[in-house]
Amino acid sequence: MRHGSTMKQYKSEMPFLWKPKVSCQNSKEKFFLKASKSQKKPIAARLGLKALNDLEVEILISQKGNNLFLVNGNINAEICKAVENLNESEDFFVNDGFQEIIQLNVPRDRLEVLASEDDNVTEFYTNDTIDLGEISIQNLSLLLDDICYDFQDIEYREEISDQSTEAQDRPFSNLASLLNKKGAR
């Protein structure tokens, strides 16, 4: 679980500041963010990508309570990632949702206490503004961690299945089949 006001340390590469209007419960607002040409390079650099070809984020914010907001987003991105050990790159498509629960206007002296006590809130802000662009990039970063991890995993699994035909004379093939049985239970 990420905690704390991680936003403060640097300015977002894709700033999109949102400030709630006068507190009205059950208010919902929808936003559509798209990374501009000039934003794509720094975002790619931050996320360790070769290039960010496209980034679009749809966000729905609803108020849950006093200074408490639910942010539901969907990220649609096309990225280009350098393939480790190979001198080439690979395009990935990301299309996934995220959710944050954000508390605004947290008194600075209460920040640590709240961050350690409240497990439902994902971000605490001491101000009254949410940077939706920053949240989008953070969540894209998390999604990329998952995707690239899975992706390497898939390639690895395919390699293993390619080799399974000649597995008979490999000393570890028994181990592999044991592990498979173990996982299959």
Q: Is 92 helix (H, G, I), strand (E, B) or coil?
A: strand
Candidates 83, 36, 29; CA nearest to 56 is 36
Q: What is the pTM of this model?
A: 0.72
Q: What is the CA radius of gyration of the chain?
A: 21
What's the rounded Cα separation, in Å, for the pair 120 and 128?
19
Per-residue model confidence as pLDDT tens for the chain (185 residues)? 444 434 444 578 999 999 988 656 667 899 999 999 999 999 999 999 999 999 999 999 999 888 999 999 999 999 998 877 778 888 989 999 999 999 999 999 988 888 888 788 999 999 999 999 999 999 999 998 876 665 555 555 555 555 544 444 555 555 555 555 555 54
What does the CA dihedral 62, 60, 96, 37 come to, rounded to 10 degrees? -140
Strands, sheet with 123-124, edge to edge from the N-terminal-most edge strand = 28-34, 51-65, 68-82, 89-103, 123-124
Give the Cβ contact number of residue 127 at 10 Å. Answer: 14
- State CA 2 to chain mean position distance: 11
Candidates 139, 175, 145, 149; CA nearest to 160 is 175
